[in-house]
Amino acid sequence: MSPNLIVTEDLIQAIQQAVKEANSEEDLRMGIERALSTTLRAPGLTTMPEDEKTALSGSAGAGYGHKAIEYKTLVMAGPMRWVVLTTGGKVTTLAWFVKVRYTAQGSGSVLFARSDLQGHGSDDVFAVFSDNLTMAEHLRDDIFSYTVFAGVPGQTPPAPIVKATFESQGEFPARIVESMRAVDGTTLTLSLGSFGPPKAYVRAVNERLTEVGAFVIPAEFSLEINGIVPVGRPEAGPLAEAPPVGVDLQNLWYRS
């Protein structure tokens, strides 16, 4: 197993219990966060909950998978839903929703989307859509600065940020449908269902950021962009350790 994706049995059991006891998505979100905090205390990390802006501080000399982990400042909280489609060994569609509960620039919904709908070799959609443009710029440039959406200075421009409205239907463990409609006419709908068991992880994003979360893998999904089902198959995830299609139960990003 890669050291960047660490699954712990205690955390999985705690998450499964939270799923069993939850009566609403809010119950589930809080239960998952409690499970994460409890498990992270085990190797010596300390937790300092501050309502939505929970902060973990301290360091562990020994961490998961022989990996030392440090937590200092929470920079983002909120689950993601993602899909990656590949055609001929090349990623032709990459899309992920972020249901942001907390950042320094507020909360809201964001969709990062890039798609060559028919696999012709050029992007039909490449943008960051959001109902909070300031927060979306913060995510693009500060938190997800390592992605193609941030661009490369002097080489490629960042993805434009476009105003949009969002709608969520259903909630885990039933089917989940995430929809977006942008002011430029772009639409995207991602439907996910038949979820597998929860998995937990701690991932070093880079030297600054660490991601802690829990997710499930749907056995069924459908995706439409501008009324078109994009070509490609779910063969490779957005990261080597991640599945091509996934649904977060909770997701926390810390700056160390």
- Asked whether residue 3 is domain-assigned, the answer is no
CB 226 within 8 A of CB 82: no
**Residue 233, SS3 per DSSP:** strand
Q: What is the DSSP secondary structure assignment for residue 231, as one 8-state letter?
A: -
Tell which phi-psi region holds residue 119, choosing left (phi > 0), alpha (psi between -120 and 50) or beta: left
Confidence of residue 10 (pLDDT cuts 50, 70, 90): low
Confidence of residue 8 (pLDDT cuts 50, 70, 90): very low
Residue 227 has what pLDDT?
96
- Asked whether residue 28 is domain-assigned, the answer is yes
Calpha distance 31→35 (Å, rounded): 6
Beta strands in the chain (DSSP E): 46-48, 55-59, 70-71, 73-77, 80-87, 90-100, 108-115, 125-130, 161-169, 176-182, 187-195, 199-204, 209-216, 218-225, 245-255
Q: How far apart are the first and last CA of the chain?
A: 24
Residue-wise pLDDT tens digits, 27-45: 766 776 676 666 555 433 3
Spatial CB neighbours of 168, under 8 Å, sequence gap ≥ 6: 99, 176, 177, 178, 179
- Asked whether residue 48 is domain-assigned, the answer is yes
Residue-wise pLDDT tens digits, 51-73: 332 222 223 322 333 333 444 68
Averaged pLDDT, 117-126: 94
Number of domains in the chain: 1
Domain that residue 199 falls in: 9-255
Residue-wise pLDDT tens digits, 186-238: 999 999 999 998 888 888 888 888 888 889 999 999 999 999 999 999 998 88
CB 168 within 8 A of CB 148: no
Q: Which two structure tokens, joined as six digits, stand for 234?
A: 């779910």
Percent of the chain with pLDDT over 70: 74
Closest CA to 193 of 169, 220, 170: 220
Confidence of residue 2 (pLDDT cuts 50, 70, 90): very low
Q: Which two structure tokens, joined as six digits, stand for 37?
A: 């905090």
- Asked whether residue 2 is domain-assigned, the answer is no
Residue 174 has what pLDDT?
81
Model confidence, pTM? 0.77
**152 or 44, higher pLDDT:** 152
Closest CA to 212 of 52, 16, 75: 75
**Residue 47, SS3 per DSSP:** strand
Residue-wise pLDDT tens digits, 92-117: 999 999 999 889 999 999 999 999 99
- Asked whether residue 236 is domain-assigned, the answer is yes
Spatial CB neighbours of 36, under 8 Å, sequence gap ≥ 6: 11, 200, 212, 213, 214, 250, 252
- Asked whether residue 1 is domain-assigned, the answer is no
- Asked whether residue 4 is domain-assigned, the answer is no
Q: CA dist 180 to 96, 168, 232, Å?
A: 11, 9, 21
Amino acid identity of residue 198, one-letter, is P
